[in-house]
Amino acid sequence: MIQLRKLFTPVESMDAEEARNYLASHAEDAYTLLDVRQPWEYEEEHIPGATLMPLPSLNDQYRTLDPEKPTLVHCAIGGRSRVAAQFLSGLGFKEVYNLAGGIKAYQGQKASGPRELNLDLIRGDESPREVAVLAYAMEKGLQTFHETVAARSKDADLAALCRQLAHYEELHEEKLTAFYRQLEPSGKDLPALTAEREPEMMEGGFKPQEFLKENADQMQTLAGMLELALMLETQALDLYLRFAQKLSHAQAKEVLYTLAQEEKGHLARLAKLWEEKAAESSGQ
């Protein structure tokens, strides 16, 4: 049971816009984003990378959190998270914020699915080399997906968007290749390791051919493809961060945190493009 005397410690709040700006401007490993809702709520939607720790279990699990890192706590509308934030602050956590209005007020991109989704793809003790190979294969999978949609499209604007999205993935692949060469200077590089097989998985944990088939109709329009791209990048960000939480090797974690920062940039560019296209279609 949460100790009552810990519940009267004052804590600061962030509104939704302040929280979104904070998350966008800080490195992923520099803070803790804590979700104190129930698992079923998390599965419906959650902020990418959030650590799920339901309020009833907080007293038993808070020791797994780093009290030296800033902690941003949220729930559905802000009530449970205020209780959790006051509790953590009373325990001596250095910097604790409550997200006012909770996830309902948060306007950033949200992921979906249970906390364990696709975590079976890693053991948790992977080396930086193994993580680089896995991440490269997933980036390559999404690049191939975007290239396939571009090749099939009869809409010039849609094809151009997909080629741009594919280029984003190529940039990730180049960074992963350079990192891998530092680890294996005399061995095969990443492109050679993956060139002999079709990508089995793409960013976010989706299977390329299944995803193409299931979303064929939505990929016929620019607006539909933008919506899918935003979803894919959000799920990718979330999966990379959940992978990082499970990994034990510090350098392997860093590989994924670096990719997560890149995904944030992709999301920001896609969101801006989405807003521009929405304005054009409404005649503004």
- Indicate the residue type of 14: M
Neighbours of 284 (CB within 10 A): 7
Which two structure tokens, joined as six digits, stand for 63? 């020791």
Selecting among 47, 75, 99, 256, the annotated active-site residue is 75
Residues across the chain: 284
Q: Sort strands 96-99 and 51-52 into parallel, antiparallel or unpaired.
A: unpaired
Neighbours of 191 (CB within 10 A): 14
Is there a catalytic annotation at residue 75?
Answer: yes
Neighbours of 40 (CB within 10 A): 8
Q: What are the Cα distances from residue 171, in Å, to 2, 48, 177?
A: 47, 22, 10
In the block, which residue shows the tokens 């935003």? 230
Alpha helix positions (H), 184-249: 190-194, 208-214, 222-246
Would you call 1 helix, strand, or coil by DSSP? coil
Rounded CA separation 202/142 (Å): 5
User: Annotated catalytic sites, by residue?
Assistant: 75
